[in-house]
């Protein structure tokens, strides 16, 4: 069994991780943690996410030092903010853990990308080189040997699963950039309450037009420019992407 630690387990992504890891026949959850300052510290995960009642009733333990939790751990999932993952991943790697990072901190092998799109200076260019991009359908061989896996973003996952087969088969005329119109449910914005995510306020609306950080992630890993417009939908979860692209002459 792989002893597994989930960091940042109180949010929606963390709760989904708990569900999947708990079902995995070769994984054992050793602990669930949140930041030492979190209001959720000390609560049961199943009190925050009732679907876990009687299935996983572990407490959310406050973590201020990874050495309290890393001994004996094989796998760490980081469901944390980008800057937090940036700081924690090297520490867990040094402790001998395999790290799956759900943030954007290691997805693109270009330090300037993080200054422009994430607003922080990346201190670990060697880990950007080392990180495997976790789109399993195309990067499976790299994942087998990787110690640091950068889990793809939500929009990039949907976009690449649709477009990569066509690009790899050389079926598209990429002189006309693929147009990606994407809509996400409000859970993609996280668990924290905000007026903009209230169902009394939300209608279908675009956001981050021409500036969303997932556009360069998509383009980088596709190896092709795209036009990407994200939208917020008034539904809880899920992503729908409508993608328009031009086939090469003679392709039917």
Contact 108, 115 (CB under 8 A): no
pTM passes above 0.85:
yes
pLDDT tens digits for range 200-252: 566 788 989 999 999 999 999 999 999 999 998 887 789 999 999 999 999 98
154 is catalytic: yes
Architecture per CATH, domain 154-244, reads as 2-Layer Sandwich (3.30)
What is the spatial distance between Cα 143 and Cα 132, in angstroms, rounded to a whole number?
6
Give the CATH number of domain 2-150; options: 3.40.50.720, 3.40.50.1580, 3.30.428.10, 3.40.50.300. 3.40.50.720
| Equal fold, 2-150 vs 154-244 | no
Reading the chain (252 residues) residue by residue, the pLDDT tens digits are: 999 999 999 998 999 999 999 999 999 999 999 999 999 999 999 999 999 999 999 999 999 999 999 999 999 999 999 999 999 999 999 999 999 999 999 999 999 999 999 999 999 999 999 999 999 998 888 998 999 999 999 999 999 999 999 999 999 999 999 999 999 987 656 556 566 666 556 678 898 999 999 999 999 999 999 999 999 888 778 999 999 999 999 998
Q: Which of 139, 154, 200, 245 is catalytic?
A: 154
Q: Rounded CA gap, 223 and 217, in Å?
A: 10
Look at residue 169 in the predicted model and tell me its pLDDT. Answer: 96
pLDDT at 234: 81
Residue 172 has phi, psi (to 5 degrees) of -105, 145
Angle at 32 between CA 14 and CA 148, to 5 degrees: 65
- Determine the pLDDT at residue 199: 58
**What is the reported pLDDT for 192?**
62
Contact residues for 184 (Cβ-Cβ < 8 A; gap 6+)? 154, 155, 230, 231, 232, 233, 238, 239
> Domain map of the chain by residue range?
2-150, 154-244
């Amino acid at each position: 069994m792989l002893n597994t630690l989930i960091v940042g387990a109180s949010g929606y992504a963390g709760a989904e991780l708990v569900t999947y890891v708990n079902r995995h026949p070769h994984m054992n959850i050793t602990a669930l943690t949140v930041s030492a300052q979190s209001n959720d510290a000390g609560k049961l995960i199943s009190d925050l996410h009732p679907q876990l009642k009687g299935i996983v009733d572990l407490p959310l333990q406050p973590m201020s030092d990874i050495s309290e939790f890393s001994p004996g751990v094989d796998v760490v999932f980081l469901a944390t903010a980008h800057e937090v993952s940036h700081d924690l991943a090297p520490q867990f790697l040094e402790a001998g853990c395999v790290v799956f990072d759900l943030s954007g901190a290691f997805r693109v092998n270009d330090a300037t990308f993080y200054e422009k799109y994430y607003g922080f200076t990346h201190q670990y260019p060697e880990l950007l080189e080392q990180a495997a991009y976790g789109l399993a359908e195309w990067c499976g061989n790299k994942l087998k040997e990787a110690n640091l896996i950068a889990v793809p973003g939500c929009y990039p996952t949907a976009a690449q699963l649709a477009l990569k087969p066509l690009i790899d088969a050389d079926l598209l005329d990429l002189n006309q950039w693929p147009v990606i119109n994407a809509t996400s449910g409000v859970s993609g914005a996280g668990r924290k309450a905000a007026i903009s995510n209230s169902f009394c306020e939300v209608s279908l609306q675009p956001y981050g037009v021409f500036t969303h950080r997932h556009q360069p992630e998509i383009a980088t890993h596709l190896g092709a420019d795209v036009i990407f417009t994200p939208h917020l939908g008034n539904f809880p979860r899920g992503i729908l992407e409508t993608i328009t692209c031009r086939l090469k002459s003679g392709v039917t």
